[in-house]
Amino acid sequence: MNKIFAANWKMYLNEQESLDFVSKILSNKRLFLSNKVMIFPSHTAICSVKSALQNLSSIQVGMQDCDMEMSGAVTGSNSINSTYVDSCIVGHSERRTIFKEDEKIIKQKLENSLKTVESTILCIGETLEEKKQNETFKILDKQLSILPSALNGKKLIIAYEPVWAIGTGLVASNDYIKEVLSYINNALKSLYSDEILSNINLFYGGSVDENSVESLSTIPLLDGFLIGRASADFKKFENILKKMR
């Protein structure tokens, strides 16, 4: 199966920079059509990116996060139905640490996203401290404990992103990722029927770039990547896609 590349632009690109990125995509249509790509711009750029990509509907556009509420008095926040998107990320480690989001909050966001958009990315992963304490699987169990019993036909992507690998240049080893993904896969198998499992994908994220992507893509069970910094630099993202052609 072709890998899926999800570009999490975080707060790297403003609206104009996002549009400049999209115009480069449009001049390289063939490369972007031959890969499955999802883009997560900052919230203020979602509408313009979506409309600039209207002739390239194979690229999905999503939100980097959504609010726990569907509407109401929540100054500065955005509900999952604040604009039309194909996908949404919930539980990213930056939300967990910077915004102190716990499992209860992420569970509500996951529910909102699953009932509203076509695909939802749930990020999970242990910190360096937790890894050192041999607590990786315990943490993953806790983070997976919020999964619903059914997906109602929606797609779910579990992105395994060890916190110590995000933005650090440290990529987890293939053996380590393989072991963790098979642990996650077994946990999912104990929760869901084969029919539901066919709507779940497993991603890796954490310092993925043009140098690591080829080797990482040989990991069994891996369906795609959630890429931060390297996805917000057109040349780097283009090189990643070229490597995987």
Instruction: Indicate the residue among 136 and 192 with the shorter CB distance to ligand PGA.
Output: 136
If one asks whether residue 39 binds ligand PGA (CB under 6 A), the answer comes out as no
Nearest residue relative to ligand PGA (C-beta): 228
The residue count of the chain comes to 245
- Single out the residue of 227, 237, 240, 241 in contact with ligand PGA (rule: CB under 6 A): 227
Shortest CB 55 distance to ligand PGA, Å = 27
Contact mark string toward ligand PGA, 140..179, x via CB under 6 A? ---------------------x----xx------------
Beta-strand pair 119-124/36-40: unpaired
| Region binding ligand PGA by CB under 6 A among candidate stretches 76-84, 178-186, 195-203, 204-212 | 204-212
Instruction: Indicate the residue among 81 and 174 with the shorter CB distance to ligand PGA.
Output: 174
Give the CA distances from residue 108 to residues 29, 132, 214, in Å, rounded to whole numbers and listed in that order.
Answer: 37, 30, 35
Instruction: Indicate the residue among 8 and 119 with the shorter CB distance to ligand PGA.
Output: 8
- Single out the residue of 202, 226, 240, 241 in contact with ligand PGA (rule: CB under 6 A): 226
- Single out the residue of 35, 108, 207, 212 in contact with ligand PGA (rule: CB under 6 A): 207
Shortest CB 171 distance to ligand PGA, Å = 9
Active site residues: 92, 161
- Single out the residue of 229, 236, 242, 243 in contact with ligand PGA (rule: CB under 6 A): 229
| Region binding ligand PGA by CB under 6 A among candidate stretches 52-60, 103-111, 184-192, 221-229 | 221-229
Alpha-carbon Rg for the chain in angstroms: 17
Number of residues interacting with ligand PGA: please give it, by CB under 6 A.
13
Instruction: Indicate the residue among 164 and 192 with the shorter CB distance to ligand PGA.
Output: 164
Output the six-digit token pair for 79. 């509900």
Angle at 94 between CA 122 and CA 127, to 5 degrees: 85
Shortest CB 40 distance to ligand PGA, Å = 9
